[in-house]
Structure 1
Amino acid sequence: MEAPIGVFDSGYGGLTILRYLRKLLPEYDFLYLGDNARAPYGKHSLTTIYEYAREAVSHLFACGCPMVIIACNTVSAHALRLLQQIDLPRSSDPTRRILGVIRPTVERLGELTRNGHVGILATPATVRSNTYLLEVNRLHPEIQLTQQAPKMWVSLIEGGEYQANEGVNYFVRRNIEELLRKDPRIDTIQLACTHYPVLLPRIREFVRDDIVIAEQGMIVAESTQNYLQRHPEMERRLSKNGISHFLTTEEDGEFAEMAGLFLHARLAEDMIDQVQLR
């Protein structure tokens, strides 16, 4: 039986990934799950992040999704490997797949940088995990990676403060300047939090024109497309009606209002359902 591709994030940011998935793979169906009621995950312990992620992925599997994309850097950094290596083999259907966003992002960095100096802008939880450093050292040991963890960006975005104003400009400029001070030779900045593309117009104001600013959305979408081309046995299990549906653990009215900012599309009420994870 064919079923949609599951996409999971701890909140709204994963919708920036889904936006590009729907653009590049418009014929496929998607089921998005945002655990907004318990976001942000970065404030929780590693054990709690793993438990929450396991509940979310299990819910999408129970909905029939044969493949789930974890569109969250924090979960990809702290829980993906456990889900892939421990939970999936013990599940009722080990042929299902769980994919993350960090590996495809790092794979692309070698094509983006011209001089081997790359900056990463990520949440404190993702930076603390050192997952990007480990993956870059494994795949691109020639790249010098510098990380910066803006502490306020996610809060600003989810609080509706993303347009140009004195406060937003201050926090964006400060973190960009701190990153470039650590390594003035950076020629590529990777946005390694799925919320950060909302601030892209502000980020560009404080970055030199010769620096590439890379979003994860198209990178992950192209990686997913490539994966399906290489795995026809999975591709055949996916439904293709061009339909997207959305699940949230918060009030569905609140979700609809914020989702448009990340998805660049208005969601009808019948496209959203509130769920409880356990």
Structure 2
Amino acid sequence: MIGVFDSGLGGLTVLRALVSRFPDKSFIYLGDHANVPYGDRSSAEVIDLTRASVEALFAEGCKLALLGCNTATAVAARHLQQTWLPASQWREHNVLGIVAPTVEAATQTPWAVSAPQYPQKYNTDVIGVFGTTRTISSDVYPEEIRKRCPKVTVVQQVCSRLAGAIEHEAPEAELEQLVEEGVRGLLAQTDGIPPHRAILGCTHFPLVEHLFRRHLPPFTRILSQPEVVADSLEDYLARHTRFTAGDPAGRLTLLTSGNPDEISARAQVFWPDVAAFTCAKTT
């Protein structure tokens, strides 16, 4: 089985794309709603909370855990992959994040290639990144993109209120105003030059991708993480069949560290026909 973790509900946009792409695979989603938001927490807290949830997914039978959260990926993924996992009882399992496939799509360069290659090393495009405060402050996207495309211009724009407005079902006009402000803020940093590619670096933002499309020019390619992650996972599973071998087909389990009834109701913003959540057991 494949586990998908998020500190809240945004990861459901990724899960929904995965369930659609892989109807023959089984998934367990775990939202750490008892401890959300992660954005105001220290890096040590984010790492500890993410590890506990990943361990809970492994204990539920998942062999592969995907961090469907930009903050958790930016802060915790490397530590879990390089330090915690090899020393744990779960060393035959694996943890993936959503930053790597997004950077791959933005640079057209495999994640394993971390040095500039032809022709990407001559790329002078403008890449915009829209995200939450914590994701933008981590600088993970500029750092990883410039390793592969050192001549590109990476411009980041915090959309601090957009995720909350989406989750609280703000009116379309309010959401559009927030998106327009974000796009305007990014263009102010580029002297009005639109980005060639725009990364929606928050898993809430795919729900308003049509608004970003409305306020960005047609030539700007919008990289929305659910489809990007699904493409990457399809390639990964084709090369690592052991992570899903022998699993039951088409099973979906939704777990939360919060109140299941409350979370089930709020989850419909992200997936209208989503199944009900049940209580998670975390360490």
With the length of structure 1 as denominator, give the TM-score of the two structures: 0.91
> Which of residues 144, 156, 178 in structure 1 aligns to 2:185?
178
How far apart in 2 are the matches of 1:233 and 1:205? 42
Q: Is the 8 A contact 2:65 2:95 kept in 1?
A: yes
Which blocks of at least 5 consecutive residues in structure 1 are unaligned? none
Which blocks of at least 5 consecutive residues in structure 2 are unaligned? 110-119
Q: Is 2:269 the counterpart of 1:265?
A: no
In the TM superposition, what are the counterparts of 1:108-147 in structure 2 within 5 Å?
A: 108-111=105-108, 116-147=125-156
Count of residues in correspondence between the two structures: 269
Q: Is 2:263 the counterpart of 1:255?
A: yes
Q: Which residue of 2 aligns with 1:199?
A: 208
How far apart in 1 are the matches of 2:85 and 2:269? 33
In the TM superposition, what are the counterparts of 1:29-44 in structure 2 within 5 Å?
A: 29-44=26-41
- Secondary structure (helix, strand or coil) at the match of 2:150 reads coil
Q: Is the 8 A contact 1:229 1:235 kept in 2?
A: no
Q: Which amino acid aligns with 2:144?
A: E
Q: Which residue of 2 aligns with 1:224?
A: 233
Q: Which amino acid aligns with 1:174?
A: E
How far apart in 1 are the matches of 2:154 and 2:219? 18
How far is the alpha carbon of 1:72 from its aligned partner? 0.5
How far apart in 1 are the matches of 2:62 and 2:274? 24
How far apart in 2 are the matches of 1:276 and 1:64? 13
How far apart in 2 are the matches of 1:32 and 1:151? 25
Q: Which amino acid aligns with 1:155?
A: G
How far apart in 2 are the matches of 1:277 and 1:247? 10
How far apart in 1 are the matches of 2:46 and 2:3? 19
In the TM superposition, what are the counterparts of 1:40-59 in structure 2 within 5 Å?
A: 40-59=37-56
How far is the alpha carbon of 1:258 from its aligned partner? 2.1
Q: 1:225 to 1:154 in 2, by over 3 A?
A: same
Q: Which residue of 1 aligns with 2:113?
A: none
- Secondary structure (helix, strand or coil) at the match of 1:43 reads coil
How far apart in 2 are the matches of 1:28 and 1:127? 33
How far is the alpha carbon of 1:276 from its aligned partner? 4.8
How far apart in 2 are the matches of 1:85 and 1:110? 24
Q: 1:246 to 1:143 in 2, by over 3 A?
A: same
RMSD: 1.9
Q: For each residue in 1:91-124, what CA deviation from the matched residue of structure 2 results, as whole angstroms up to 9, or x when unmatched?
A: 1131100000001110111349996211000111
Q: Which residue of 1 aligns with 2:112?
A: none
Q: Is 2:81 the counterpart of 1:84?
A: yes
- Secondary structure (helix, strand or coil) at the match of 1:147 reads strand
Q: Which amino acid aligns with 1:34?
A: G
Percentage of pairs with the same residue? 32
Runs (4 or more) in structure 1 with deviation over 4 Å come to 111-115
> Which of residues 159, 162, 173 in structure 2 aligns to 1:150?
159
Q: Is the 8 A contact 2:256 2:280 kept in 1?
A: yes
How far apart in 1 are the matches of 2:253 and 2:142? 35
How far is the alpha carbon of 1:75 from its aligned partner? 0.6
Q: Which amino acid aligns with 1:89?
A: P
How far is the alpha carbon of 1:169 from its aligned partner? 2.9
Please identify, of 197-206 and 126-135, the stretch whose mean Cα deviation from structure 2 is larger: 197-206
How far apart in 2 are the matches of 1:5 and 1:55? 16
Q: Which residue of 2 aligns with 1:233?
A: 242
Q: For each residue in 1:230-271, what CA deviation from the matched residue of structure 2 results, as whole angstroms up to 9, or x when unmatched?
A: 12333425x14111110011211122222222134332x4xx
Q: 1:134 to 1:54 in 2, by over 3 A?
A: same
Q: Which residue of 2 aligns with 1:17?
A: 14
How far apart in 1 are the matches of 2:245 and 2:265? 34
Q: Is 2:76 the counterpart of 1:102?
A: no
How far is the alpha carbon of 1:210 from its aligned partner? 2.5
